[in-house]
Structure 1
Amino acid sequence: MSGTDVCLVKCSSVPCAAPENDTRDTSPLLFWIRNKCDITFHGDDSLSYFANGKSLCWFLESKLEEQIKRLHSVVGNAIVDDHYIVVGTGSSQLVQDALYALSPSDQPEPISVVSYTPFYLAYPDVTLFKDGPYIELITSPNNPDGIIREPVIGKIGVSKEAQLRAAKILEVVSNSCLDFTLENLFEYSQSLMTDKWQRLRKVVMDNDLFVLQNYPPQYCLFTKDLCESHLVITKILQREEGDCEKLLKEHTIQTRSGRRFGSDSRNVRISMLSSDEDFNIFLKRSYGYSRIYK
């Protein structure tokens, strides 16, 4: 190619494994942003490790930084002025960065790190507790997702393509909050999560085997009102002693034991973000299990 030629690449922010005419449900939130977040960029864009050599996080794309600050300003849940943004590949990388930045450099021994349950699966590998001052890692209300990932600490920077995709998604989300002619993502997701929680509570209330974790209403800075908490990940407690994960697995219900997150085997963690089809199967099997043992 000559010096003026370019290679244009068009990418979808949400790759879809199913054919375009396939109407099966996928993750509801991914369904909302599908076909709204296509991006086009030159083939020679962002080839360098450096995105902004003058920034504290020199591999952070300026478009992503702009959209992160914009969304926080729209929602009103964080102060963005005079603050730095650091990106990483996975939470473990960012957690270790934060611990390094907060740890005192003039002490002979490493500072202790504590976290209330539930905590991320990788936390015990990167933390140590001793008497004295400590750093607390707060995971609530953004509960750990329980997904096991391979270590990525040795990687330099974060994928530029991933940052540009994320920037486009955040731009579309912010636009949906500011333009009343568009479907608001937060209203859409709140409607979906409210429906799922109502159906899950009904299944749990119809039996006396389990207890569903309750979350009190909280004031929302975005809606300026008290809102019910419908978390994307929650836990179910088995009333009687025993391994809840094992019992449910015997009835083809896959969960993750609370032991993985600092709790006990009576607890299991479930995701509320699965597709409607998967969630309906989960409810059906849970209801069938409760009918057998009621």
Structure 2
Amino acid sequence: MCGTEKARVVKSSSSSAGLDHSETRENGTTLSSHSVINLDHGDPTMFEAYWQRMGDKCTVVIPGSQSLSYFSNMKNLCWFLEPELEESIKRVHHVVGNAVTKDHHVVVGTGSTQLFQAALYALSPSDALEPISVVCAIPYYSSYAAVTDFLRSGLYKWGGDAHAFDKDGAYIELITSPNNPDGNTRDAIVKRGGGKLVHDLAYYWPQFTPITKPADHDIMLFTVSKSTGHAGSRIGWALVKDKDVAKKMTKFIELNTIGVSKESQLRAAKVLGVIADSCQSCDTPDSDNVFEYGKLIMSERWNKLRDVVGQSDMFSLPEYAKEYCNFMGKFTESYPAFAWMKCNRNIEDCAELLRGQKIITRSGERFGADSKHVRVSMVSKDEEFNLFIERLLAIQETSNEYHI
């Protein structure tokens, strides 16, 4: 595997950019000191500089005559899965060592959200008298409840906090590890007969957390949006042990969208292939890989945030123990994609406090927690993150001056 001692790392632009707020963004506007910073979404724009450095390595040319058919491989259980993507998925998991692909079926989806819905459909009993409960431990990903109940399905319904779940019989438990929003490693909570588990491993990549072992669960969800930063391609995949469950998930996607865009699949296949190549060429001058790049940026940003938060008792952050990362070849810390930040003292609504300083975050109430917590995206562009740090420092200095 590529370790930091061997690989040449692309330097983060934040190392030398300082707090320059005059950079022009993609839409032609400029982020000024008076701009609103939206850190509510986990939009992974921090990866843009890396892919600019990679140039044309991931360029895909698709002739007009290519990919006309609905079908990709009729011999495959997931008949709309492009063979190139399946190969790249298996290869990158082998190189990174974060998931077992042997004896698993690959199901591709339009992002992991569609695969989450497909998993609920596949795991729900068709002859039950009432919908099966879907649970997850607080704080849970804010979209789980909304997506589960959006269609008011007769098959499944949101059951809330896994810690408080006390019903007998079948249930579906969602395990997000590392967890969104707090970054912690998680295991199943309910652990009772009749339970069916879905492991959302969107953040189980070396830039965010130590890779301690290959995950080997019944259903594992991944996505390119968090692994490579290509959120706009809308490609996710599930590794599924049970053939019948994989068939039902495929059927859901067939009925929902009649498959998944081949153009997006081919682009994702190219990107994942380039990543795998870069991780296997550690001794060459061209050995930069997105995981090394991401780890560097995330560690820099978390160190900056901890330095600022540590200057007063106004805010607090979770602590993460060092673990041995098989990919990096050393003990490393977790640097989650989101900061689960808590407002202390007499502050009851942390999101409202930050909104007053033109910082948009996601309230802890959206995650089943309290309003003293907020989730802050750590994967935005440098200028947005640096302005966030500057404003957070100003909030603390003002509060100390007036003894808030």
What range is the shorter-chain TM-score in?
Answer: 0.7 to 0.9
Q: Partners in 2 of 1:30 and 1:56 — Cα distance? A: 35
Q: Deviations over 1:20-56 (max 9, x none)?
A: xxxxxx9332221232311122211111111111212
Q: Which residue of 1 aligns with 2:177?
A: 140
Which of the residues 290, 296, 299 maps onto 1:194? 299
Q: Deviations over 1:172-230 (max 9, x none)?
A: 11111001222132222111111111100001001211101222223323224321000
* Helix, strand or coil at the partner of 1:79: coil
Measure how far apart 1:155 and its partner are: 2.2
Moved more, 112-121 or 258-267: 112-121
Measured on the aligned residues, the alpha-carbon RMSD in Å equals 2.5
Counterpart amino acid of residue 365 in structure 2:
R
Conserved in 1, the CA contact under 8 Å of 2:140 and 2:179? Answer: no
Q: Partners in 2 of 1:190 and 1:33 — Cα distance? A: 15
Percent of residue pairs identical: 48
Q: Does 1:116 align with 2:153?
A: no
Which of the residues 255, 262, 283 maps onto 1:160? 262
Extract unaligned runs of 5+ from structure 2. Answer: 1-24, 29-43, 149-156, 160-165, 182-201, 203-224, 226-231, 233-252
Q: Does 1:272 align with 2:378?
A: yes
Q: Which residue of 2 aligns with 1:285?
A: 391
Q: What number of residue pairs does the alignment pair up?
A: 269
Q: Which residue of 2 aligns with 1:27?
A: 45
Measure how far apart 1:107 and its partner are: 3.5
Q: Partners in 2 of 1:186 and 1:123 — Cα distance? A: 27
Q: Which residue of 2 aligns with 1:209?
A: 314
Moved more, 170-179 or 90-99: 90-99
Extract unaligned runs of 5+ from structure 1. Answer: 1-15, 20-25
Q: Does 1:232 align with 2:337?
A: yes
Q: Deviations over 1:247-272 (max 9, x none)?
A: 11111111111111211110111111
Which of the residues 100, 103, 115 maps onto 1:82? 103
Q: Partners in 1 of 2:46 and 2:350 — Cα distance? A: 28
Measure how far apart 1:17 and its partner are: 4.1
Conserved in 2, the CA contact under 8 Å of 1:77 and 1:221? Answer: no
* Helix, strand or coil at the partner of 2:108: coil
Q: Deviations over 1:268-289 (max 9, x none)?
A: 1111111111111000001001
1:33-112, aligned counterparts within 5 Å? 33-34=51-52, 35=55, 36-112=57-133
What's the TM-score once normalised by structure 1's chain length?
Answer: 0.84
Counterpart amino acid of residue 278 in structure 1:
E
Q: Deviations over 1:56-110 (max 9, x none)?
A: 2111111111100000010111111221111111333211211222233454333
Q: Which has the higher contact order (CA 8 A, sep 6+)?
A: 2
Measure how far apart 1:142 and its partner are: 4.7
Q: Partners in 2 of 1:41 and 1:198 — Cα distance? A: 42
- Alignment CA distance shift 1:45-1:74 (3 Å): same
* Helix, strand or coil at the partner of 1:200: helix
